[in-house]
Structures are given as C-alpha cells and as structure tokens.
Amino acid sequence: MSSLGVGLIGTGFMGKCHALAYGSVKAVFGDVPDIRLEVLCDVPADKADMFANQFGFARGTADWKDLIVDPKVDIVCITTPNKVHKEMAMAALDAGKHVHLEKPMALTLDDAEAMLELSEKTGAKTIVGYNYLQNPAFRHAQKLIADGAIGRVVHFRGAVDEDYQADPNLAWTWRATKADAGLGTLGDLGCHLISLATALVGPVESLIAETRTVHVTRPVGDGSEERREVENEDIASALLTFENGVHGVVSTSRSAWGRKSYIGFEVHGTEGMITFDQERMNELRLYQNKGPLAEQGFKTLLSGPAHPPYGHFVPAAGHQLGFNDLKVIEARELLRAIEEDRQALPSFRDALHFEQVIHAIAEAGEEGRRVRLK
C-alpha cells in the first residue's frame, strides 16, 4: 500500500502522544507505509483547528462522526474519555476503519466483548494502548524468560502506583463515576500491570482481591464546601493464580504520594529473578544463581541496540528512550499488522483478557470471594 491516512480524536496527553508517534514512525523505522495526518477532532471547532495546525493534520473538525466517515481516513485513533470508547470504536469499525484505541477498551465487559465481535466480523486491525508492552527492556525480559534464563517461573509480584488522586482536596472529576470512567485505579493503572503480567507469565485463571476507596467524597470544585461521592476504587490488591499454576500478587493505587509512573514487577524463577521499574524504564535487573556464591548478585542490563527496536531510535546504549517512544513502537506494530494482514499486539482480543482480569478483581473485592475467569 502506498499510504495510510490517520484520524485522531482527542488532543490531551495521549492525543498528543499519538500525533507525535504517527508523525515520526516512518522516519524512525522506515519499514511502514507512508502516513498522512488527515483529520483531527476536538471541541470546540477552533480548538480542533488550532491543534490540527500544531500537530500537522490537514484539517480539524468538532464532529468525530465526520472524521470517521472521511474517505481519506484509514486509521482512527481514539484518545477520549472512557465512556465514549465503545461508540466511537464501533462506528469506526462499521465504517471499515482500523482502530488504535487507548485503554481501557470500554466501561463494561459486555461492551468490550461487542467491540471484539465487531472487529473480528469486519476484519479490521485493532490495537489497544498498552504501550509499556513495547518497551525494549520489557521485550528482553520476555526473551530471558522464554530462553530459561531464570529457570521455571514460579511467582509474579507487581505494583503500579501514581499520586494523581492522593490529595483529598483535589476536585471531583468524571474519573470518580462508574458511568463516565468505569473502574478507578484498576481501569487507569491496574490494567497496565495485568498486561505486563500476562505477557510474561500467561493468562489468569482465578483470583481473590480487596478494593478500597481512600477519599470517599471530593469537593465539587476547588475550594468548594460541597462534596460529591467517589464511586470507584482508589486502591486494589489481588492474589492471582495463572492458568499454568504460577502464583501472583498485584497491587495498584492512584493515591500513592510520591509515585509518578511507578510500574514495578518481579518475576521469580527456580534459577533466578528479573526485576523492572518503569520510572527507570531503560534498565532491567537480572539475578542468576550461577558461579561462586561470593560473586552472585543482581546485574543491571542497560537498554541499547542489542535490545530491539532500541537501535532504530538511538545508535548507542545508555542514551535512553522515553515514554513517547513507546507509542512510536506501538504505532509501527499496527502499521506492520495492516501491511502484513495480521492482528497487532495487543489487539482487541488480547486487551479483552486484561479487562476481564481487572473486572474480576473489582468483583472479587466487592463480593469477598474467589472469582474464576471465563
């Protein structure tokens, strides 16, 4: 194919990240079709026009349906609040477009399952924004495990924390309602950790969990005396049993002071351990019980060209990739999937399992029982 046209809905944190990714993916990798930045959507119209000019899109619009039916648009990027993910994704699929959707897929599992069913019916290529899966350091962790570097995996331990809801005086927003946001920290953060856990260990079979809302009400505005209920969880923890029998412990909090983008995990094996911290995203730590006991210890693996596709960005180790670079790798994955007529990773089918796990954690936390996944 000669080129693919991109339509972007949303211009916030992730909207800009998508714009940067599709604007640079050809220059970084060279092995993808030419990209045309065709239509950008936001409201009001003057905002859409301003960001279309800033991000390099051919035109702006305040009507997302106008973007989806535009014949010049082949890929629809959806970076909007969670409650409209399903409607926009279904419309894009119905229009014969490929879909690049930010996580979570939808507010409910029923909605996510309907989205998957339609995507498979239309044959569209889909990808969901679990960008941490694209990190060269993480990919190397997968390779080490597959190669038996730490023996047989026996345990996964992970946490994902941020502090964007730690302040009790922070004003109430749409993120506090199930109708607009769905789950709380599980939908915002926990799903990322589950994506990493399952990519390293495998699908989850069952779990038990606890959830808590730390700040049960918030002021309706800055300095307001009036307060409004927070409907979803601030903290969630779970004990997982994976299908292969591996045991796991996961925890997530959006009220953890000092944490900015902490995604830390340990994979324990019979012959060693791998550890990772997203706040030091270019490092992987490996312990192997080999050699003299007096010389055994963790070694730090620093990302470099030996960890693909790092070398496409920087020709030398130690210079480091950043968060936005992961979205470039993610965009390439979708573009290559379209060109090769295969599904991208993670597709709607992959992402549905991540969301089945986080909804099972929420269910287990509410009902106080073990929940088995479908």
Band of residue 112 on the pLDDT scale cut at 50, 70, 90: very high
Place of tokens 């944490």: 259
Report residue 268 as tokens.
């324990």
Q: What is the pLDDT of residue 248?
A: 98
Band of residue 243 on the pLDDT scale cut at 50, 70, 90: very high
User: What percentage of the chain exceeds 90 in pLDDT?
Assistant: 97
pLDDT in tens, 317-336: 999 999 999 999 999 999 99
Distance CA 313, CA 329 (A): 10
pLDDT in tens, 159-189: 999 999 999 999 999 999 999 899 999 999 9
Domains of the chain by start residue, with CATH: 3-131 (3.40.50.720), 134-321+343-372 (3.30.360.10)
**Cα angle value 320/165/171 (rounded, 5°):** 130
Band of residue 1 on the pLDDT scale cut at 50, 70, 90: low
Q: What is the pLDDT of residue 221?
A: 87
For the residues 16-32, what does the mean pLDDT come to?
A: 98
pLDDT at 374 over 80: no
Distance CA 146, CA 93 (A): 35
Band of residue 77 on the pLDDT scale cut at 50, 70, 90: very high
Mean pLDDT (the chain) is 97
Q: What is the pLDDT of residue 222?
A: 85
Quick one: CA dihedral 324, 325, 329, 332, positive or negative? positive
Report residue 93 as tokens.
């699929």
pLDDT in tens, 245-284: 999 999 999 999 999 999 999 999 999 999 999 999 999 9
pLDDT in tens, 186-203: 999 999 999 999 999 999
Q: What is the pLDDT of residue 72?
A: 98
Distance CA 64, CA 306 (A): 42
For the residues 207-236, what does the mean pLDDT come to?
A: 95
